[in-house]
Structure 1
Amino acid sequence: MTNKSTRKPPLVADRRYPSVKRTSSTSKAATAKPKPAKAKPAPRKRAPRKRSGKSGGGGGIVGFFRRLIGWILRLIWSVTWRFGAVVCLCVAMAVGYVYTTLPEVGALLDGRARGSVTMLDRNGDVFAWRGDQFGGVITTETVSPHLRNAIVATEDRRFYRHFGISPRGVASAVRINLSEGRGPLSGHGGSTITQQTAKLLCLGEPFDPGAGMTEAEYEAECRRGTLWRKAKEAVFAMAMEVKYTKDEILTIYMNRAFLGAGARGFEAASQRYFGKSASDVSPAEAAMLAGLLVAPTRYAPTNSLTRSQNRATVIVGLMEDQGYLSPAQAKDARDNPAELSQAAAERAGGYFADWVMSSGPEFFTRNTTEDVIIKTTLDRKLQAAAEEAMQFIFENKVRDGSKAQAAIVVMSADGAVRAMVGGREAKVVGAFNRAIQAKRQTGSAFKPFVYAAAMDLGYSPLDTVVDEPFCMTIPGSGQWCPKNYTNEYYGQVTLTRALKDSLNVPAVKVSERVGREVVREVASQFGIESDLAAGPALALGASESTLLEMTGAYAGILNGGSSVTPYGLTELTLLGDREPLMGIDGGIGERVIQEKAAQHLIWMMEKVVSEGSGRRAALPGWEAAGKTGTTQAARDAWFIGFTSQYVAGIWMGYDDNTPLTGVTGGGLPAEIWHEVMVRVHDGMTPVPLPMRAPEQVAQQRDGGSYGGGAQGNNGLGAVIDNVLRDLFGGGGGGGGNTPAAGGNR
């Protein structure tokens, strides 16, 4: 029998759920027969992988390289995020430092190193600008919305979405540069408007004239595109984004951008090109202004309006694509491109404006640090007349390919210069101005001052002098024998005929009679400041002078014998001031000859135009007086003359002193004078010249201050003339030297 006490207890599965205390409510459920639990299938065991020395999971060569690459990647990441954190910290510190150095917006709007000069004509209208023009502050609120949108569309379409720099823009610029065969940082820069503003601010480094660097060098340094400079530019741009709002950054940019023709900022450019404020520009005008940003000089409408309009068409397309213009607005802008204002289109008075700048006080013109307004004497109608006359003659009377030049000055009798053309190319700035810079021999255009001295000493226009072969000995130089232009002699002639036909021998005789020093003094007091010849050739225009000086001297004859100082500036005022700092710097000065003498001389000079060598200058319906001048070998040709209203001077020649071919003062210069004055006097009522005919009492005026000469009847004059010939070698048409100067036509 089996011992029951040693029987093993039956195997019973562990309870899978904790026991629940029975209650009366659960007693019935507890007595119910439990359902057998469903057996859970045993998990399948994976067959062990066979390991091999050539392949397998973590072992072998592949596993080794996997672990090595993973380790390298973890190392790189470990170094990179730490280095990146350090870089970010350094950038943040740099941005924070730059932030503390940035001034308020108002201090950054006008960053010019020098001031500007705005010139007004005699009617008060703007005709020229010089220096760095700044039209005044504009903001994103006051500027035309079209202009603001054009700038953003052209320069930085994501301006309002980035934080000062645009990695996408930089990457795109690098790609374009490389595709075009340039270096990655050469050409397109991918700069945002904020970065461009940082560059305009030269990263906060202001121009210091005392630092030994010119303004041009300073600006070139600010534009350098090295990698280090780009990094500094990015930091500065981010600091600006922290310091200023987007609109403030755009405001700085709009006020500091250079836009060609000396204009700094869009307000100045709008005034310069369109004669209106930047708040009033149309979409077409806004597109043209925005198009200047990429290359201000190349796309300046004053240099090439067509090129500027084509660039503006591209900008209009960008504005349309980005939703700033409707299709209808864009079409209108393309169909009606922007046009220049009249002043900008004319570019009037380039030579004149340069002269005013050179003759005014330096600290308010060439080197001004202020914004200056200068009112001038320029008459734009007369300026246009002079330019048109010059063009007409050279197109119709001068052979193609000729390099001959000409200059014109028109002024009033008080010396107020109304027009000036310094060369064949009229619409230029900074060019060689032949009206004021070229000193040339005056030839017979000087002779009126010989006769002015004679008239002032009591000579009459009807007094006579003998025109004949004549020689005199000049100490240290030998014998000198002046000749007439025609190599003919006309015997006894009146002083009027001697001037009218520009005879050389009578001019020398009269000069010697009244005294060279007197002639020199009269010419000098009339305003010819150049060194005057000391010898007898003084009478024939051997001295050099400028066209402006000569025209001013003739104005003194017209106004009755008083000197004039030619002037172009009438009033100089600082921008914003009411009271001018200075007024007219020139005008009528002291009397040189008596009024009666001046009136007699005008009568004689009128005969030059009506009967003599200057007949081509005659004006229909107007009395005109003047004098021709042709120098030795026809290197210079002059005609200077006047009506009762205006004086005009013409010079013609070559810059290198090459002789003119077939040109005398009575030829092309007289014709240019005629064309100028016809246009100048168009629509005016003729007014007679202030001249006086001589009394019908004549004397022979012959001899010279060197020991002869006489005033008396013709017989006594003839006797003295014979004595002079005996004493000083006159007669026989003797050889000797050719005249030092003196044409007669």
Structure 2
Amino acid sequence: MRDPLTEKPRRKIPSRLIEVDAWIDSSLWRFGHGFSRFWESVTIFSRRFRARGLNKLAVEVACEGLTLGVAGLIVMLALAQPAMKLTANGLPQQTDYSVLFLDRHGNEIGRRGVMRADAIPIDEMPDHFIKAVLATEDRRFFEHWGIDFFGLARALSENARAGGVVQGGSTLTQQLAKNLFLSNERNIERKIKEAFIALWLESHYSKREILSMYLDRAYMGGGSFGAAAAAEFYFDKDIRDVSLAEGAMLAGLFKAPAKYAPHINLPAARARANEVLTNMVQGGFMTEGQVVAARRQPATAVDRSTTTSPDYFLDWAFGEVQKIAGDMPHRNFVARTSIDMGLQQLADESVEYHLRQFGKTYDVGEAAMVVLDDDGGVRAMVGGRDYGESQFNRATKALRQPGSSFKGYVYAAAMEAGFKPDDKISDAPITIGRWSPQNYGRSYAGTVTLQTAIAKSINTVPVRLSQKIGMDKVAALAKAMGVESNLRGDKTMALGTSEVTVLDQATGYACFAAGGMTSNRHGILQLFDTNGNLLWDSKRDMPPRRRVLSETASAEMNQMLSQIPIIGTARKAQLSMTRAAGKTGTTQGYRDGWFVGFTGNFTAAVWFGNDSFRPTNKVSGGGLPTMTWQRFMEAAHQGIELKPIPYIDNTMPERKAPKVAEEGDAPPPVRPASLTTAAQKVLAQIGMLMSSAPPLEKPEKLAAAAGDDNAVGRR
């Protein structure tokens, strides 16, 4: 019998569920009904703003413009990121060091650095010079905000009418942005950065400050930076005293200082100055009557025909001085450097000769070279073809793949690990993961000795060696030998895919020339204050050389490398008076050609390629780089004491003359006369004995030139 007391609660449960369901349904209906009424009222209200006819067209255009504007803003923010990173810390710190540089024999070769206190205020510069600069470089300078769209349109129109580039569209602010933050590399990425940095400069500095910075920092040829230094160099005058004709000639240098430098090409400089005077008249800065006297009596520069400035080297040496100076209280220095101007002249000539002769044929536009002596001193440095065209130092800053020239470190690590030149190893196809390196010509030689493998630049052998000894050990050895660039250490590095600089390669191979000891690369021999006090001496203050390769490994490496000019890929590197050793390198697509070689006296690294990384027309390491190295070394070894390569008999092997008909009939250069090593040592001893002598006139002038008006000369 059912109990009614227990059944009653069971009947209430379904009824409550029905109530909940009814409440949900009614709530949803009320919400939907209310939203419909609300939306209807919004629709009725919005009909008041409905556009018809032309108004509708305007609204549609505005909406599309807003959409595109937001999208464009996002794109601009993305493009501006690199420029924002460059300007995150403000302007690059302008050093307050001022250094007068001497060559290894004590001759003045240039100076770097400008004391801020010595900068000429823009208010003190001649008015006609300022007008000449603005009329030529940026007539609308005080009207635009860093980018002159009207000027850009005018330049495009003039260039289209002339059928070539005859007028630039960059503003003065954009040029300053390039000088402060960027290189002269011509690509769209650099132009984008330049535009955003120009806007940043305009928003943070006044027009007067921007113009002052531009006039103080622009390169104006002859190793001079800034208008004040250029006036002293070209006219031996203070910038305050330059005439209208001289000011016009200075203003014409900003476009192409190497092309219009009056000490190199006075007719071109005068023609350019005449264009500047015309610009001043056309821009309304002066009348024709005011400039006619300057046209009739053009400026004449001081004779600097005997003055040569190793500008790429000076830029690098200035950085070395700053490292040495550190926390020294001094700011004005006289630095005696390791550079030999005779060898520098030979290096410049060798590089330019081959670029001029074969640049178009091989579609190669740039080259770099670094020469070290047996003590590790930098004797010559070529950072590019034309410093006036581009101050970017390709010898110290350009990171390029070394190709097979990196194999020297792989084989050195193998010798350290116990391998021998006569050891045999397989030259057969090899695959590591998805990577299958191939030899040049896609052929294989079977079993070969390590000597043959490095001489013939076989690719599979160093890859096998690196797998056996470990790429970390190869990278560590390369670092120990002097390679300062970051090395990736991956499996492809054995074939030279990790970028290095020309200076790195010269430093690393100098260890072979030093018998396995560190090269102790340096560019500064001595550093003095303006009173002649010795502050730093390379022989005294540099760390002693240390051994990074055992004598056995060094002897084996030098033996193998010395065979490459005889039976290997560097036959054009053979010298007529002494043994040579080294390694060629060619990268994928012929983008880079290298030769790094040494004798008992010098180590030199040579690179050929294009700034844009565009492939050359099959420039290989055994071609132009080796020919340039050989041309330099033939002249560099004239009239000096020949030293043998460590552990190598200097007896000249039977030489099969390589075919060099493509070099033309031009005779090899002759090394300029210089002091012998013995004479240099005698003069150095005399200098030490005279260190307590009264000041001489020349050191006093040098000290004053370094920026210390109270200097009393070097003792």
Shorter-normalised TM-score: what interval?
0.5 to 0.7
- Whole-Å separation in 2 of the counterparts to 1:573 and 1:374: 6
Where in structure 2 are the equivalents of 1:467-616 lying within 5 Å?
467-472=426-431, 474=432, 477-478=433-434, 480-580=435-535, 583=538, 589-616=545-572
Asked whether 1:448 is paired with 2:408, we answer yes
Q: Which of 352, 377, 380 is the aligned partner of 2:341? A: 380
What does 1:111-150 correspond to in 2, within 5 Å?
Answer: 114=96, 116-132=98-114
Q: Deviations over 1:351-410 (max 9, x none)?
A: 111112234327969x99943322211111111111111111011122169453211111
Q: 1:114 to 1:549 in 2, by over 3 A?
A: closer
- Is the alpha carbon distance of 1:272 and 1:573 closer, same or farther for their aligned partners in structure 2, counting shifts above 3 Å? farther
1:221, CA displacement in angstroms? 5.9
Counterpart contact for 1:309–1:338, Cα < 8 Å: no
Please tell me whether the aligned partners of residues 386 and 421 of structure 1 are also in contact (alpha carbons under 8 angstroms): yes
User: Residues of 2 paired with 1:676 and 1:222: CA distance?
Assistant: 44
RMSD: 4.8
TM superposition score normalised by structure 1:
0.52
Cα distance between partner residues in 1 of 2:542 and 2:306: 26
Match of 2:396 in 1: 436
Unpaired runs of 5+ residues, structure 1, are 1-111, 137-153, 157-172, 174-181, 184-211, 225-257, 280-285, 314-333, 694-745
Q: What does the per-residue CA deviation read over 1:710-736, in whole Å, with 9 as the maximum and x for residues that have no partner? A: xxxxxxxxxxxxxxxxxxxxxxxxxxx
| SS at structure 2 position matched to 1:408 | strand
CA distance in 2 between counterparts of 1:646 and 1:259 reads 33
Q: 1:540 to 1:269 in 2, by over 3 A?
A: closer
1:457 to 417, 438, 446: 417
- The amino acid of 2:316's aligned partner reads W
C-alpha change, 1:443 and 1:368, in structure 2 (3 Å) is farther
Secondary structure of 1:524 counterpart: helix
For the structure 1 residues 536 and 519, does the alpha-carbon distance in structure 2 shift closer, same or farther, using more than 3 Å as the test? same
Judge conservation of contact 2:428–2:446 (CA < 8 Å) in 1: no
How far is the alpha carbon of 1:522 from its aligned partner?
A: 1.4
2:587 paired residue number:
631
> Residues of 1 paired with 2:205 and 2:461: CA distance?
61
Counterparts of residues 179-578 of structure 1 (less than 5 Å): 220=208, 261-262=224-225, 272-273=233-234, 292=246, 296-298=250-252, 303-305=260-262, 306=266, 339-341=302-304, 344=307, 346=308, 348-361=309-322, 370-399=331-360, 402=363, 404-426=365-387, 431-461=391-421, 463-472=422-431, 474=432, 477-478=433-434, 480-578=435-533
The one-character-per-residue Cα deviations of 1:208-233 (angstroms, maximum 9, x if unpaired) are xxxx999x968936999xxxxxxxxx
The question of whether the paired residues in 2 share the 8 Å contact of 1:114 and 1:369 is answered with: no
CA-to-partner distance for each residue in 1:177-227, whole Å, 9 max, x for gaps?
A: xxxxx99xxxxxxxxxxxxxxxxxxxxxxxxxxxx999x968936999xxx
- Name the CA distance, whole Å, in 2 between partners of 1:555 and 1:155: 54
Secondary structure of 2:545's aligned partner: strand
For residue 612 of structure 1, report the CA deviation from its aligned partner: 0.8
Q: Which runs of 5+ in 2 are unaligned?
A: 1-93, 119-125, 132-138, 141-199, 213-218, 275-296, 650-715
SS in 2 for 1:384: helix
Aligned to 1:641: 597
The letter of the residue matching 2:512 is: I
Q: Given the superposition, is the C-alpha separation of residues 552 and 660 from structure 1 closer, same or farther in structure 2, using an over 3 Å criterion?
A: same
1:322-378: CA deviation from partner (whole Å, max 9, x where unpaired): xxxxxxxxxxxx99976533564x2x211111112234327969x999433222111
Cα distance in 2 between the residues matched to 1:218 and 1:571: 42
Q: What amino acid sits opposite 1:549 in the alignment?
A: D
1:544 maps to amino acid: E
Q: 1:546 to 1:486 in 2, by over 3 A?
A: same
1 CA distance for matches of 2:494 and 2:210? Answer: 60
How far the C-alpha of 1:502 sits from its partner, in A, is 0.7
TM-score by length of 2: 0.54
SS for the counterpart of 2:493 is helix
Give SS of 2:439's match: coil
Of 652, 659, 675, the residue aligned with 2:631 is: 675
Q: How far did residue 441 of structure 1 move?
A: 1.5
**CA–CA distance in structure 2, aligned partners of residues 410 and 442 of structure 1:** 17
Do the aligned partners of residues 297 and 589 (structure 1) sit closer, same or farther apart at CA in structure 2, a change above 3 Å counting? Answer: farther
Cα separation, 2, equivalents of 1:219 and 1:113: 23
Q: 1:660 to 1:588 in 2, by over 3 A?
A: farther
* Distance (Å, rounded) in 2 between the aligned partners of 1:523 and 1:645: 22
1:398 is paired with a residue whose SS is helix
Change (3 A) 1:553 1:363: closer
> Residue 368 and residue 550 in structure 1: after superposition, are their counterparts in 2 closer, same or farther (change >3 A)?
farther
Structure 2 vs 1, CA of residues 526 and 259 (structure 1 numbering), >3 Å: closer, same or farther? closer
Shift of 1:608: 0.5
Q: 1:402 to 1:586 in 2, by over 3 A?
A: farther
CA distance in 2, matches of 1:678, 1:587: 32
Change (3 A) 1:586 1:632: farther
Q: Identify if the C-alpha distance between structure 1 residues 642 and 401 changes in structure 2 by more than 3 Å, giving closer, same or farther.
A: closer
Alignment of 1:695-710 (within 5 A): none
Counterpart amino acid of residue 350 in structure 1: D
Check conservation: 1:119, 1:127, Cα contact below 8 A: yes
How big is each residue's C-alpha offset from its partner over 1:644-687, in whole Å with a ceiling of 9 and x where there is no partner? 11111011122222222221111111111112222322333543
CA distance 1:427–1:580, change in 2 (3 Å): farther
Change in 2 beyond 3 A, CA 1:683/1:370: same
- In structure 2, the CA distance between the partners of 1:222 and 1:664, relative to structure 1 (3 Å rule), is closer
User: Letter of the aligned partner of 1:609 in structure 2?
Assistant: P
SS at the partner of 1:470? Answer: coil
Residues 1:594 and 1:398: Cα distance change in structure 2 (over 3 Å): same
| Partner Cα separation in structure 2 for residue 445 and residue 311 of structure 1 | 45
Letter in 2 for 1:536: K
Instruction: Return closer, same or farther for 1:454/1:654 CA change in 2, 3 Å cut-off.
Output: same
Distance (whole Å) between structure 2 residues aligned to residue 464 and residue 394 of structure 1: 40
TM-superposed CA distance for 1:600, in Å, is: 2.0
Q: Secondary structure at the match of 2:549?
A: coil
2:220 & 2:591 partners in 1: Cα distance?
43
Q: CA deviation at 1:547?
A: 1.0
Compute the displacement of 1:500 (Å).
0.6
Whole-angstrom distance in 2 between the partners of 1:567 and 1:374: 12
